[in-house]
Amino acid sequence: MLGAGCQYDPIKNIVPIEGGEPLTLEHKAGEVWLIDFWATWCPPCQAPMQHNEDMLVKRGADWGDKVKIIAISIDQTADAVVKHVDAKDWKRPIHYHRAKSDCSEQYNVRGVPNVMLVDTTGKIVFKGHPANRKDLEADFDTLLKGEPITGPGTEEEDKPKPAAEGETEAAGKDLDAAGCLANIDTFHTEVAPALQKNEKIAAVAKNMPRAFCVMVYEETYNVTSKKSKVDWKNFRVLVGKQEDIDVCKAEIDTSVKGDFEVVLREHAV
């Protein structure tokens, strides 16, 4: 599995959404890439894709051709992507359709949204859910300087850390991977659809710039320690009037249960 700390392996047989022959995405030294796996039918993908567009509107002139945001859609057809991108006016990222490429298997993309940051040397320095990066603009600026980024999903985070005095490798809460995945399946098939149909949430969310609740499950294998690490989080991102945020928080708290870590990011406007 290719992830943080590995060199980018060129993605082959990818197709521009406007059509044309399959091609290979080759990284050029000096460029910083954000590769965003997404889908038009994926609600949690929409805000990150809008953010990609907004970043390029704001900083594109500063970055020039040194920063590339590459969107790879896993939709069944490229036509659906073209219509969606046109409707949203998301023209600044470089859009591709996965088509017959095996890039999802190549980079172990089990769900969307899933992004990778590639530094100027072609090394993958982050892989995971975009919500794990608090400031992608700052990440781009840092990487363009040739400096490292840290935090969840990065190579630095995945390095084995020395145990504190009196602490063993087994310290902390153990998570049952099968149980986590079963809970996520239930969230996908039952809980999330119920939240989307919740009348209280629907009444306020339509006026909120951002309102989403997503599960992020990552299991990484450390070749040094020969141990797997399970990271299971429930991201709740709520932006809007405080009273609307409070309504959403209350309904989500009631409906979404599990052993995951809750990451609440709220911003009243």
Supply φ then ψ for residue 16, to 5 degrees.
-55, 145
As a whole number of angstroms, the distance between CA 32 and CA 52 comes to 14
Give me the chain's average pLDDT, please: 88
What confidence score (pLDDT) does residue 43 get? 86
Q: Give the per-residue pLDDT at 165.
A: 42
Backbone angles phi, psi at 222, to 5 degrees: -95, 115
What is the reported pLDDT for 114?
94
Task: Look at residue 218 in the predicted model and tell me its pLDDT.
Answer: 78
CATH superfamily ID and name for 11-157: Glutaredoxin (3.40.30.10)
The C-alpha atoms of residue 135 and residue 159 are separated, in whole angstroms, by 22
Single-letter amino acid code for the residue at 264: L
User: What residues in the chain have per-residue pLDDT under 50?
Assistant: 158, 160-173
Q: Which of 16, 118, 124 is nearest to 69 (CA)?
A: 118
**pLDDT at position 223:** 67
> How is the chain split into domains, by residue range?
11-157, 177-268
| Of residues 21, 111, 28, 108, the one with CA closest to residue 70 | 28
Whether residue 132 contacts residue 152, with contact meaning beta carbons closer than 8 Å, is answered with: yes
